[in-house]
Amino acid sequence: MSDVAVHTGEAVAGAAAGAPVLELREVVKRYPGGVDALRGVSVAVGRGEVVAIAGPSGSGKSTLLHVVGTLERPTSGSVHIAGHDTSTLRDAQLAALRARHVGFVFQQFFLVEGMTAVGNVAAGLLYAGVRRGERAARAREALERVGLGHRLDHRPSRLSGGERQRVAIARALAGRPSIVLADEPTGSLDTRTGAAIVELLRELNADGTTIVVITHDRELAAALPRRITLRDGRIVGDEVTS
């Protein structure tokens, strides 16, 4: 972890000066049997952007999420996060980079029923190297930021679907990552609640959070300022929508 941490300040300074927070260069991901899920993907996301990566089932979105989130390594090409070339990092260093710089929001929330909202968010800070005494304070701060200051001690079963997704978003934000990856963040929600989550993402972005949303929902993709379209493992569109 220390090998990555040494360069954190330099990486943030570089990103602030205009370097992309996320950059993929000719990324290929090949699975056994010769299946290419990603075929030479190159894309950059700047600090403070909110971007939708859209496409139909089988287009490569899930693979791209795993590669961008450093959950899988590309077969070839490179992934740069907050100034770090992930291809140069050992597994332990990569885990440290992921804990420090990448926040995840998943469609299914993945909250622990035996923990309160604060406990769930604080637990997400374990691997980010945050001291025990600071975790609860940062968890409360993140929950207040997403509008759940009145639900701090509630367990997931006592929260609505929209509130549970807000807890998941707070968990991603609490680590103060360089980028938040949201995988189908409205997929388990009704239309009205989903719209409220989209509005929350836009508000968080307005405060400076860099967000990449992976979705097959055309309306959600169209609601965000930039839309990147994947098809058959290739980028076929990259446009500013608003």
Residue 18 has what pLDDT? 58
Residue 242 has what pLDDT? 65
What is the residue whose two structure tokens read 């954190």? 8
- Which of 3.40.50.1220, 3.40.50.2020, 3.40.50.300, 3.40.50.970 would CATH assign to domain 2-114+177-240? 3.40.50.300
Using CA atoms in the order 102, 79, 202, 220, what is the torsion angle rounded to 10 degrees? -120
Residue 7 has what pLDDT? 35
Residue 5 has what pLDDT? 40
Please give the average pLDDT of every successive group of 10 residues along the chain, which has 242 residues.
36 48 96 92 94 93 94 95 93 91 89 95 86 91 94 95 94 91 90 89 88 91 92 94 70
Alpha-carbon distances, residue 111 vs 168, 169, 170 (angstroms):
7, 11, 12
Residue 55 has what pLDDT? 92
Residue 108 has what pLDDT? 85
210/139 Cα distance (integer angstroms): 19
Token pair for residue 115?
Answer: 């923990």
Q: What is the pTM of this model?
A: 0.86
Distance of CA 197 to the CA centre of its chain: 15
Sequence-distant (6+) residues with CB within 8 A of 199 are none
Most distant CA pair in the chain, distance: 52
Question: Across the chain, how many H-helices and E-strands are there?
Answer: 9, 10
Q: Which of 11, 83, 18 is nearest to 46 (CA)?
A: 18
